[in-house]
Amino acid sequence: MTTAERTQEQHRHAQPQAEAVIDLDAVADNVRLLREYAGDAAVMAVVKADAYNHGAVPVAKAALAAGARELGVTTLTEALELKSAGIDAPVLSWLHTPDADYAPAIVAGVELGVSSPRHLASIVAAARDSGVTAVITVKVDTGLNRGGVARDEWPGFLRDLGRAHAEGAVRLRGTFSHLAHADELHHPEIDSQRDRLVEAVADLRRHGMPPEVVHLSNSAAAVTRPDLRFDMIRPGIAMYGLSPIPEIGDYGFRPVMTLRTRVALVKKVTAGSGVSYGHRWIAPIDTTVAVLPMGYADGIRRNLSGRFEVQLGGRRRPQLGRVCMDQIVVDLGPDGGGVSEGDHALFFGDGRHGEPNAQDWADLLDTINYEVVTGVGGRTVRTYVGGEGGGTE
Ligand SMILES: *Cc1c(COP(=O)(O)O)cnc(C)c1O
């Protein structure tokens, strides 16, 4: 056996039973498409929540290589993970408690999103202690009423920021906000949020602190509202190849995650026998079934029981009876469909092999595609394809 064959053999044996295959070439394609949507504006790749469960560091590297200029995350831990992986692109983190440990992030050069005078005070104190100027981005609440500086706190915030700025404790890098109705085309709230952001930027200028970058658009706004680009767009879901407005279309993005497993067992079931807990499915005829070793502990939601299909042996196979913690059973038909133990079965992906996509699952579960990909877990192992050396501009 040659080394290559041995490696391949080991790889075959190492194939996980629960696997999320992440296609980094798809990430790169999606980022290139987002750059087109961005026009002259830059792209901040949002890699929060471990890149929507696709793996923050590999996705961030692939996105930057494809021309994203900055990275966005939610927590300081996420930001520091990117920094310690040697990524030197700007990283903005925007959701913290006021008592967070800001010093390490300030020292590492993480850009801090600030949402209140309390957060600012805490950052200023950490900057003084560490002797490093904190780079901050003001998050303005323009109507979502979630994160961002609230309207009633804005005048006081401006005063405090002016002082911190004059003292050299902080440097204002950017200003941003987040939309409440980005996926509802022509919703009037979108325009009023834009106007409020423009006002906030004018206030900052008037106080001698013009932000270097202003940004507002998530994926939905990026693909529908070129007038809201400002200096940068801030897409997440589209980079993972899922549509921000599925009712309208896929906007040309390609799904990045394929969720798959391998057949653990093939067996006969006789007519009249029940399958899985509670025998919720009774074989109408003699048939053959496959046991697949992924269940609700791995993100195959139990309320999908009896309601979905997997791609296996060249066609869709219905899942039978209840989804269990560790496994499900699918029907292969009387002749077994040529399926063998060890074969791959696909839950969702980009559809290239006939499998459903994450949006199909979202529709079944009455949720959004974001929750489908972030809900994969348990024993699922990520493997990466593409990226490094694959595909150049
Ligand atoms: C998650 C998030 C984004 C990305 O949103 P998508 O809808 O995935 O494009 C952008 N900005 C902020 C503030 C976010 O929290």
Average pLDDT over residues 11-21: 83
Question: Measured in Å, how far apart are the chain's first and last C-alpha atoms?
Answer: 37
End position of a domain, from candidates 240, 270, 290? 240
User: Of 145, 178, 253, 370, which is best to mutate to test ligand 1, by the most ligand atoms within 8 angstroms of its C-beta?
Assistant: 178
Residue 1 has pLDDT above 90, yes or no: no
Where does 168-230 show beta strands of DSSP type E? 170-176, 213-215
Instruction: State both tokens at 325.
Output: 């913690």
Q: Does residue 65 sit in the same domain as residue 206?
A: yes
Where does the chain show beta strands of DSSP type E? 18-23, 42-46, 70-73, 91-93, 111-114, 134-139, 170-176, 213-215, 232-233, 257-262, 265-269, 274-275, 281-282, 287-292, 309-312, 315-320, 328-333, 344-348, 381-385
Instruction: Check the CA dihedral 189-191-195-201 and report its sign.
Output: positive
Per-residue pLDDT reduced to its tens digit, 159-190 = 999 999 999 999 999 999 999 999 999 999 99
Q: What is the DSSP string of 1-23?
A: --HHHHHHHHHHHH--SEEEEEE
Q: Does residue 52 sit in the same domain as residue 176?
A: yes
The confidence score (pLDDT) of residue 388 equals 72
Give 320: exposed, middle or buried? Use CB within 10 Å, 0-12, 13-18, 19+.
Answer: buried
Regarding the beta carbon of 235 and ligand 1, being less than 6 Å apart is answered yes
Regarding the beta carbon of 178 and ligand 1, being less than 6 Å apart is answered yes
Task: Tell me the pairing of strands 309-312 and 315-320.
Answer: antiparallel
Centroid of ligand 1 to alpha carbon of 197 (angstroms): 17
- Give whole-number Cα distances, 391 to 27, 36, 124, 241, 325, in Å: 11, 18, 44, 17, 39
> Which of ligand 1's atoms lies nearest the C-alpha of 218?
9
Phi and psi torsions of 32, nearest 5°: -60, -40
Centroid of ligand 1 to alpha carbon of 82 (angstroms): 18
Q: 221 with 208: CB under 8 angstroms?
A: no
Q: Does residue 214 sit in the same domain as residue 298?
A: no
Per-residue pLDDT reduced to its tens digit, 269-285 = 999 999 999 999 999 99
> Which of ligand 1's atoms lies nearest the C-alpha of 370?
8
Task: Tell me the pairing of strands 287-292 and 281-282.
Answer: unpaired
Q: Whose CA is nearest to atom 4 of ligand 1?
A: 236
Regarding the beta carbon of 236 and ligand 1, being less than 6 Å apart is answered yes
User: Of 52, 138, 218, which is best to mutate to test ligand 1, by the most ligand atoms within 8 angstroms of its C-beta?
Assistant: 218
> Chain-wide mean pLDDT for the chain?
95
> Which of ligand 1's atoms lies nearest the C-alpha of 178?
13
Residue owning tokens 């913690």? 325
Q: Between the CA atoms of 147, 151, 156 and 162, what dihedral angle is there, to the nearest 10 degrees?
A: 70
Residue 390 has pLDDT above 50, yes or no: no
The confidence score (pLDDT) of residue 45 equals 99
Whether 331 is covered by a domain: the verdict is yes
Whether 236 is covered by a domain: the verdict is yes
Instruction: State both tokens at 35.
Output: 């750059």
End position of a domain, from candidates 209, 240, 271? 240
Q: Does residue 300 sit in the same domain as residue 220?
A: no
Regarding the beta carbon of 136 and ligand 1, being less than 6 Å apart is answered no
Phi and psi torsions of 52, nearest 5°: 50, 35
Q: Residue 13: which pLDDT band, with cuts at 50, 70 and 90?
A: low
Per-residue pLDDT reduced to its tens digit, 293-343 = 999 999 999 999 999 999 999 999 999 999 999 999 999 999 999 999 999
**Residue range of the domain that includes 129:** 39-240
Q: Does residue 178 sit in the same domain as residue 209?
A: yes
CATH code of residue 86: 3.20.20.10
Q: Does residue 301 sit in the same domain as residue 366?
A: yes
- Annotated active-site residue in 48, 61, 83, 139: 48
Whether 248 is covered by a domain: the verdict is no
Q: Any residues with CB less than 8 A from the CB of 362 and at least 6 apart, and which?
A: 246, 368, 369, 371, 372
Structural domains in the chain (count): 2
CA-wise closest residue to 95 among 112, 117, 83, 107:
112
Q: Does residue 99 sit in the same domain as residue 215?
A: yes
CA-wise closest residue to 200 among 149, 244, 238, 164:
149
Q: 69 with 42: CB under 8 angstroms?
A: yes
What is the C-alpha separation between 110 and 167, in angstroms, rounded? 20
Q: Does residue 370 sit in the same domain as residue 266?
A: yes
The confidence score (pLDDT) of residue 9 equals 56
Regarding the beta carbon of 299 and ligand 1, being less than 6 Å apart is answered no
Q: Whose CA is nearest to atom 13 of ligand 1?
A: 178
Regarding the beta carbon of 241 and ligand 1, being less than 6 Å apart is answered no
Whether 31 is covered by a domain: the verdict is no
Catalytic-residue membership of 52:
no
Regarding the beta carbon of 215 and ligand 1, being less than 6 Å apart is answered no
Centroid of ligand 1 to alpha carbon of 338 (angstroms): 44
Phi and psi torsions of 17, nearest 5°: -80, -30
Catalytic-residue membership of 139:
no
End position of a domain, from candidates 211, 240, 269? 240
User: Of 234, 242, 245, which is best to mutate to test ligand 1, by the most ligand atoms within 8 angstroms of its C-beta?
Assistant: 234
Q: Does residue 178 sit in the same domain as residue 284?
A: no
Per-residue pLDDT reduced to its tens digit, 124-153 = 999 999 999 999 999 999 999 999 999 999
Where does 131-203 show beta strands of DSSP type E? 134-139, 170-176
Regarding the beta carbon of 244 and ligand 1, being less than 6 Å apart is answered yes
What is the C-alpha separation between 27 and 350, in angstroms, rounded? 12
